[in-house]
Structures are given as C-alpha cells and as structure tokens.
Chain A
Amino acid sequence: MKELVERFALYGAIEQYNALDEYPAEDFTEVYLIKFVKLQSARVAKKKMDEQSFFGGLLHVCYAPEFETVEETRKKLEERKAYIARATKNKDYYMTKKKLVPEQKGANDSRQDFHPHMPGFCTTSLNTSPENSSPSLPYSCDLPLCYFASQSNFLPGEHMDRASNSCSSGRNHSELSEHCNYSAFSPKVQVNTYKNSLPCSSGQEVITTSESVGRFMPRTTQLQERKRRRNCDHELGMFPETNTGSNEVVIGPKLPGIPTVDLQDDSLNTTANLIRSKLKEVISSVPKAPEGKSEDLHTSHSQKRRRI
C-alpha cells in the first residue's frame, strides 16, 4: 500500500488512505480508498492512473462518492456552481470581445472533462457554414471526432460530470477508491463500438485531400492515397513506355539509364594509340640525325621534361 500511496501522492496531497476489506471486488483484488485534499488532484489522479500497470497488476481507479460526508457533497456542488458562473461570465466577456475584433482568434478556455481514447484520427471534416472555408476545420474537429469515433462505453459513470457522480467531495477532500488487481491480467473492458456512420452520412462535405492545413493523416491513409493516385495515373496512361514488358508500375520520373559501354569499340583506344604513335615517332627520329642529336636530345630532353 505504501508504494501505491506514494505513486498517487504525485498528483496532490493526500489527506488519508485506508484499505477497504469489505468492498465488493473480484478475486485477487485489493481495494484502497485514497482521500485527496483537493478535488482536482483526485480528478487528475484518476485520469492518469486508471488502467495503469502497477507491480505487475492493473489498477482500476474510480471515484467513490459514497464515502463523502454531507458537507463534502454540499461543498462539491457549490464548487461546480461557482465554476460555471465563472466560466459563463468569462464566456460573455469573450463573446463581447469577439464581436469587436472578429478576426482575432480567441483561446479555447473550455475545460475538457472527457478525453479521447484514441489518438487523433480525422478522416473527415465538417464544413459547418458556407461562409467559412477555413481548412483548419478538421483540426478543430479533432478532439470531438476522436472521442466520438473512439470505442467508448457510454455508461454515465464515465460522465464524471454530475456532481453526485464526480469526485467525491467538496472543496477540500476528494476520495478515490482503487482496485489493485494483483492477479493475472484480466481487464474489465467494456467496449461498445459505435457504428461510425455519423459524419459521412449526414451530408457534410468531406475533405480528403492533403491540402488541409495541419491535418493529421495516418500513415495507412497516405499509402492508400498514393495507391489511388498511382492507379489514376496508370489509367490515364502517364507511363506509356515501359521498358519491361511486365505490368510493373513505375512511380516517379524516369531516371536516365546507365549507358552501356561497348568494350570492342575502337574509340576506347584513342589515347593509347596516340601515345604509341608518339613513341614510335620519337624512337624513329633518334638514329636519323646524330648532328641533330643534341637537338633531338634536346627535344627529347625537352620532351622528357615535358613528360616530367
């Protein structure tokens, strides 16, 4: 338990912790209750630690509002009300500001309490209004589409939104009950795959080109995209001449071929022939004129010199 508490203490001060021996749990599962000083600590801890491995086992972390006192629940509800009042007030200010400066992009100050279970996988984007042709739509859609397309269990336990369901306490205390499963890996995964017919069937425009700025296109899609282009080009007959008689498809510009050398060609011997003929000249010119020997010698010297 000590290691467990130490691990959770990374997320905030812990007020108290204890083992829950009578909590209904699976076999080989130990349950602990951890009460944080701050509610936000419990939220983060749950988000980060749920389904994490721990000493060879798997942690299940959930909120435990049943361990709250009345006062703690009351404080929790008050906090939620205060938060909404603050957020709405800021929103009003933001909206007013936006009207004054329509081109300025405001920061997203919303607090996302759900998180995507899968990394961004945007294959479609939605054009919401005709006037807005910004290609950055898919990027902004990234988060909700991910959540939507993910395998999510739509049990409200995951809402963590209702005050009664959310982190169990008021202002100062938050409690988490934890299942520490030491047995062999036995995940309790509830997966309800939602038929992802929504974005495509609702008649929204689908942008699949790579012109969308900053859009994440997963690798498989890129490969398919290339294949598609390749097939299109192939059909269009962009590569009418293929040296190979096979159906091998050539991608990209044709590289210049390596010229084959005909080793029997006389031109390869041009230099050698020149040298040989020069040698013959020199050798033949030496015995002819002894007077001119010095000359020849001179020339040969000079020739020699030239060679040197």
Chain B
Amino acid sequence: MAQKPKVDPHVGRLGYLQALVTEFQETESQDAKQQVLANLANFAYDPSNYQYLRQLQVLDLFLDSLSEENETLVKFAIGGLCNLCPDKANKEHILQAGGLSLITNCLSSPDEETVLSAVTTLIYLSSSGAGSHPELTSLPVVQCMLRFSISANTRLRNLAQIFLEDFCSPSLVAEAQSQQAHSALGIPLPKTKLVPQQP
C-alpha cells in the first residue's frame, strides 16, 4: 500500500470507526448491520486499529453479536474476534468479559465458516503464555474437537488436530475419548432451521 503522507492517519481512522459503530447501533436494516459488521471484522485484522477498537468497545460489540439470530452476523462477529484475539490485551478483555462460553457456543453453528473461526479463536486464546483458562479445555470442548478431528472437512480437521495436539494433554484426550459414547454435554445442539416449502 502507498504510504499515507504527512498527516496522522489515525485521527481520521478513529472517527471512521466511531461512525461505523454508531451506524451499527442505530440502523434497523439487517443488510446495513451485516455490511458494517463485515467492515469492522476486516478492520480487526490490522493491529494498528486495536487501541481504537477497544476504545470503541467493538470487542463487546462482537461478543454481543454472537448471540444474534442472524447467522451472518454471528459469522462476521466470530470472524472479527478471530482476527483480533491473538493480541494479548484483546485476549484478556475477551476472557474477562466471559466471552469463552459465547465462542464455544459457536462450535455448534450450522455455518462452516463460523465453526472454523470459532476453533481458530480457541486456538489463539489457548496460546497465552501464562496459565490458560481451564474452560478452554473443558470436556465438552475436547469431545467436540475430537469429532472435528475426523471430519471430512480438511480445514476443520487440521484446526481440530492442532487444538488437540498443542493444547490438550494426552490424558485429557483419552478421557474425552472414553466418554465419547455419551452426548456432548455443555455444547448446545444446533438450532433447527425451518426449511421453507418449495412451491
């Protein structure tokens, strides 16, 4: 990208992000919400925006959007979280805000991209140096990852394997495997979608 000259680009950037957040909160159009959330998720890829995103509470916005009925909003929200969670400050904020359960819920989404983003987010959250959150490797999560690790979907399989190999002790995996026969308690069943009748 060409260098932006002379001016401090972050002055305009904060204002723009603020405008996006305001639009998201005020608009009633689902389309507009989706567009704005996608934009914010993209901005979340760039570390130079993180201070602004925290300042504007965009992390909380993402977390809140995980509970939306609209699957697309969920997909973009988890995408945004996945983008910014490798950053230490963002990670702490997410964990302190109780985001872990919301992210784990996304593992049962019917949308492929949502699940992939959720697994990746959990991988990043588990990567912290100082003692990781115990909930990250709770039994239901590990069991879910075990199922994913034999999935036909290559990307899902790869990510699940990384999670199991790098962040789960062998004993934990063994325990999860032995209980595999039982239903995965703690992970909500995917919501059933009503299929519209085709004329």
A-side residues, CB < 8 A to B, are 65-70, 73-74, 77, 80-81, 83-85, 87-88, 91, 95, 105-115, 125-129, 132, 134, 136-145, 147-148, 152, 154-156, 158-165, 192, 194-195, 198-199, 202, 204
Contact between B47 and A84, CB atoms less than 8 A apart:
yes
Across the A-B interface, the 4 shortest Cβ-Cβ residue pairs: A128-B15, A110-B48, A161-B45, A154-B38
- Complex Cα distance, B110 from A201, in Å, reads 36
Contact between B87 and A88, CB atoms less than 8 A apart:
yes
B1-55 residues at the A interface, CB under 8 angstroms: 1, 3-16, 18-20, 22-23, 29, 31-32, 34-36, 38-39, 41-51
Total A-B contacts with CB atoms under 8 angstroms apart: 189
What residues of B have a CB within 8 angstroms of the CB of A136 in the complex?
A: 6-7
Q: Which candidate, B137-145, B159-167, B183-191, is the interface stretch facing chain A?
A: B159-167
Q: Which candidate, B58-66, B96-104, B119-127, B174-182, is the interface stretch facing chain A?
A: B119-127
B122-171 residues at the A interface, CB under 8 angstroms: 123-124, 127, 153-155, 158-159, 161-162, 166
Contact between A162 and B83, CB atoms less than 8 A apart:
yes
Contact between A144 and B7, CB atoms less than 8 A apart:
no
B-side residues, CB < 8 A to A, are 1, 3-16, 18-20, 22-23, 29, 31-32, 34-36, 38-39, 41-51, 75-76, 79, 82-83, 86-89, 113, 116-117, 119-120, 123-124, 127, 153-155, 158-159, 161-162, 166
Q: Which of B4, B20, B75, B162 contacts A198 (CB 8 A)?
A: B20
Q: Return the chain B residue nearest A127 by Cβ.
A: B15
Q: Which of A91, A126, A132, A155 contacts B48 (CB 8 A)?
A: A91
Q: Return the chain A residue nearest B121 by Cβ.
A: A162
10 contacts between A and B (CB under 8 A): A105-B6, A105-B8, A112-B46, A113-B42, A136-B7, A140-B7, A161-B45, A162-B117, A194-B31, A195-B32
